[in-house]
């Protein structure tokens, strides 16, 4: 009697990271409804109000206000929109470009592999963060510029990892069996090799989303992202750094949000890989 294969239970890191990312995503999508105040509204009479549990706080300003009287919680919520937009769009574009080139180079080898490998070597000669700052400074600030800069820089990460994984998979017995069965090279690549590299791609995609959030925060920190009036986590951290001795909450709360979001992306990807990787199964 055949035994049914039992799926591994969900890990706590997958559950916790998924819950946090879901909260951030819902907050970003429902920002006009859940944000208690207009994130751009200034009220100098309400400047530097502390969080609700500290003496001197005002009702309705749960995490306090910044130096211009803007609600910190509302700016964090609206900042999640920009962070997640950059994360999803830039990371997905980099994933598609890099994974496609990595699969082709790793499976077909030959002159295709040589060209792709040389391009990757050249790209890796540039420090990623400095390269992104240079690109945004050249093409101009704005959300589209940030997404383009991250995509242009980070596709090599997918290309290298997917190429290495493809080299391993193409030597497996199931690939030889598919060749003996008469399948074409393209069919073997799509139907056999690609599904077995997918867990690695998914884990790397989730990790790249966290990296994209960090890069956007760095660019916002140095005023090379979107308009300085729009709420971004990096911009809030930059502002909070200058008034940390008078209003620590302006720096601490967006910094904690950024840290937890990046950590959650990394842990979520690793949790998905552990659960769905056919080798681990």
pLDDT tens track for 193-246: 888 888 889 889 999 999 999 988 888 888 877 766 788 999 899 889 988 888
- Determine, yes or no, domain membership for 20: no
Q: What CATH number is given to the structural domain containing 111? A: 1.10.3720.10
Q: What angle do CA 19, 22, 23 make, to 5 degrees?
A: 90
- Determine, yes or no, domain membership for 23: no
- Determine, yes or no, domain membership for 22: no
- Determine, yes or no, domain membership for 6: no
CA distances from residue 41 to 75, 79, 190 in whole angstroms, order as listed: 10, 15, 52
- Determine, yes or no, domain membership for 10: no
pLDDT of residue 6: 54
Contacts 24+ apart (CB under 8 A), 37-41: 37/61, 37/70, 37/71, 37/73, 37/74, 38/71, 38/74, 39/70, 39/71, 39/74, 39/75, 39/77, 39/78, 39/79, 39/231, 40/70, 40/229, 40/230, 40/231, 41/69, 41/70, 41/71
Q: What is the DSSP string of 85-105?
A: HHHHHHHHHHHHHHHHHHHHH
Range of the domain at 174: 72-276
Domain count, the chain: 1
Does pLDDT of 120 surpass 70?
yes
Confidence of residue 277 (pLDDT cuts 50, 70, 90): low
Residues 6 or more apart in contact with residue 248 via CB below 8 angstroms: 240
Does pLDDT of 128 surpass 70?
yes
CA–CA gap between residue 31 and residue 89 (Å, rounded):
19
3-state secondary structure of 55: coil
CA–CA gap between residue 196 and residue 229 (Å, rounded):
45
- Determine, yes or no, domain membership for 36: no
Q: What average pLDDT does this structure show over 165-183?
A: 84
Q: In DSSP terms, which residues pair with 71 in a beta bridge?
A: 65
**What is the DSSP secondary structure assignment for residue 65, as one 8-state letter?**
B
- Determine, yes or no, domain membership for 122: yes
- Determine, yes or no, domain membership for 9: no
Which position has the token pair 């001197």? 56
CA distances from residue 22 to 52, 81, 266 in whole angstroms, order as listed: 25, 13, 14
pLDDT digits (tens, 9 = 90+) for 250-261: 999 999 999 999
């Amino acid at each position: 009697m055949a035994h049914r294969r039992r799926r591994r239970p969900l890990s706590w890191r997958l559950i916790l990271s998924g819950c946090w990312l879901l909260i951030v995503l819902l907050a970003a999508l429902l920002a006009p409804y859940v944000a208690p105040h207009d994130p751009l509204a200034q009220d100098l009479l309400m400047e530097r109000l502390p969080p609700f549990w500290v003496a001197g706080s005002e009702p309705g300003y749960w995490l306090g206000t910044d130096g211009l009287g803007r609600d910190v919680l509302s700016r964090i919520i609206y900042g999640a929109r920009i962070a997640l937009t950059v994360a999803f769009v830039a990371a997905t574009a980099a994933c598609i470009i890099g994974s496609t080139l990595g699969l082709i180079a790793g499976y077909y080898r030959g002159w295709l592999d040589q060209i792709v490998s040389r391009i990757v070597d050249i790209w890796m000669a540039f420090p990623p963060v400095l390269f992104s700052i240079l690109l945004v400074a050249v093409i101009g600030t704005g959300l589209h510029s940030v997404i383009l800069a991250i995509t242009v820089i980070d596709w090599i990460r997918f290309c290298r990892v997917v190429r290495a994984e493809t080299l391993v998979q193409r030597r497996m017995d199931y690939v030889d069996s598919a060749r003996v069965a008469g399948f074409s090279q393209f069919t073997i690549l799509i139907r056999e090799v690609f599904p077995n590299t997918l867990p690695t791609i998914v884990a790397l995609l989730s990790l790249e989303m966290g990296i994209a959030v960090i890069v956007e925060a760095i660019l916002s920190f140095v005023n090379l992202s979107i308009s300085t009036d729009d709420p971004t986590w990096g911009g809030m951290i930059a502002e909070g750094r200058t008034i940390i001795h008078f209003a620590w909450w302006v720096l601490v709360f967006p910094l904690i949000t950024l840290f937890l979001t990046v950590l959650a992306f990394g842990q979520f990807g690793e949790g998905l890989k552990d659960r769905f990787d056919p080798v681990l199964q």
